[in-house]
Amino acid sequence: MSGTIISPIHDLLNDLHGRLQEERGGEVATYIPELGKADPEWFGVAVATLDGVLYEAGDTEVPFTIQSVSKPFVYALALQDRGMERVLQQVGVEPTGDAFNAVRLEPETGRPYNPMVNAGAIVTSSLVDGADAEARLDRILAGLSAFAGRPLAVDHKVLVSEAATGDRNRALAYLMHGAGSLRCDVDDSLTVYFAQCSTLVTTRDLAVMTATLAGGGVNPITGQQVVSVEAAAGALTVMATCGTYDYAGEWLMRAGLPAKSGVSGGLIAALPSQLGLGVFSPPLDPRGNSVRGVAACQELSGRFGLHLMRPTERPGPVFHRTLRGDTAHSSRVRCHDERAALTRAGRAIAVYEVRGDLAFNAAEEVVRTITADTESVRWVILDLLRAGRVQTVAATLLEAMAAKLGERGITMVVVDSEQGVPLPSAIVAATRDAALELCEDALLAAEDAARHSVSLHEQDLLRALDDDLVYALRDYLETRDYQPGERLVEDVAALAFILSGGLAREVVVGGRAVRETSMGPGTAVGRLALLDDTGHAHRIVAEGPTRCEVLTTANLTRLERENARLVDALRWSIARALAARLHRADAENHALMR
Ligand code: GLU
In tens, the pLDDT along 166-179 reads 999 999 999 999 99
Alpha-carbon dihedral 522, 526, 530, 533, rounded to 10 degrees: -170
Domain-located, residue 451: no
Distance from the CA of 440 to the center of ligand 1, in angstroms?
A: 69
Domain check: are 202 and 55 in the same one?
yes
Distance from the CA of 122 to the center of ligand 1, in angstroms?
A: 10
Residue 126's contacts (CB-CB under 8 Å, 6 or more residues apart) are 136, 182, 183, 184, 188, 189, 192
In which band, very low, low, confident or very high, does the pLDDT at 112 lie, cut at 50, 70 and 90? very high
Query: Where residue 298 sits, what CATH number does that domain have?
Result: 3.40.710.10
CB 266 within 8 A of CB 293: yes
- Catalytic residue at 113? no
Query: Where residue 502 sits, what CATH number does that domain have?
Result: 2.60.120.10
CB of residue 169 inside a 6 A radius of ligand 1: yes
Total domains present in the chain: 3
Atom of ligand 1 lying closest to residue 288 CA: 9
% of the chain with per-residue pLDDT over 90:
76
pLDDT at 527 over 70: no
Catalytic residue among 45, 55, 70, 71: 71
Domain check: are 55 and 113 in the same one?
yes
Catalytic residue among 45, 158, 201, 263: 263
Q: What is d(CA 560, CA 143) in angstroms, rounded to the nearest whole number?
A: 84
- Catalytic residue at 500? no
Q: What is d(CA 497, CA 492) in angstroms, rounded to the nearest whole number?
A: 13
Distance from the CA of 56 to the center of ligand 1, in angstroms?
A: 26
Query: Where residue 384 sits, what CATH number does that domain have?
Result: 3.30.750.24
Domain check: are 261 and 363 in the same one?
no
Binding site feature residues: 68, 118, 162, 169, 193, 245, 263
- Catalytic residue at 31? no
Distance from the CA of 117 to the center of ligand 1, in angstroms?
A: 9
- Of 69, 263, 264, the one to substitute when testing ligand 1's pocket (max ligand atoms within 8 A of C-beta) is 263
Average the pLDDT over 76-89 and give the result: 97
Catalytic residue among 28, 47, 55, 68: 68
Domain-located, residue 327: yes
State which of 179-183, 344-348, 483-487 shows the largest mean pLDDT: 344-348
Domain-located, residue 309: no
Domain check: are 258 and 230 in the same one?
yes
Atom of ligand 1 lying closest to residue 198 CA: 1
- Is residue 45 within a helix (H) or strand (E), and if so which, with residue range? strand 44-49
Distance from the CA of 434 to the center of ligand 1, in angstroms?
A: 63
Going 248 to 249 to 252 to 254, the CA torsion angle's sign is negative
Atom of ligand 1 lying closest to residue 194 CA: 1
- Catalytic residue at 198? no
Domain check: are 400 and 478 in the same one?
no
CB of residue 262 inside a 6 A radius of ligand 1: yes
Q: Phi and psi of 8, rounded to 5°?
A: -65, -25
Residues across the chain: 594
pLDDT at 475 over 50: yes
Domain check: are 246 and 220 in the same one?
yes
Domain check: are 140 and 219 in the same one?
yes
State how far Cα 16 lies from the chain centre.
33
- 40 class by beta-carbon count within 10 Å (0-12 exposed, 13-18 middle, 19+ buried): middle
> Structure pTM?
0.78
Read off the pLDDT of residues 315-354 as tens digits, 9 standing for 90 and up: 788 999 899 999 889 999 999 999 999 999 999 999 999 9
Domain check: are 435 and 502 in the same one?
no
CB of residue 118 inside a 6 A radius of ligand 1: yes
Read off the pLDDT of residues 41-53 as tens digits, 9 standing for 90 and up: 999 999 999 999 9
Domain check: are 348 and 229 in the same one?
no
CB of residue 67 inside a 6 A radius of ligand 1: yes
CA-wise closest residue to 265 among 502, 58, 121: 58
- Catalytic residue at 404? no
Domain check: are 59 and 186 in the same one?
yes
Q: Which contacts (CB < 8 Å, 24+ apart) does range 312-316 have?
A: 315/356, 315/357, 315/362, 316/355, 316/356
Strands 259-261 and 493-500: unpaired
Average the pLDDT over 145-167 and give the result: 96
Quickly list H helices, 268-330: 291-304
In 394-502, DSSP assigns E strands to 411-415, 427-429, 478-482, 493-500
DSSP helix, strand, coil percent of the chain (3-state; round to 5) = 45, 20, 35
Average the pLDDT over 295-314 and give the result: 88
- 368 class by beta-carbon count within 10 Å (0-12 exposed, 13-18 middle, 19+ buried): exposed
Domain-located, residue 522: yes
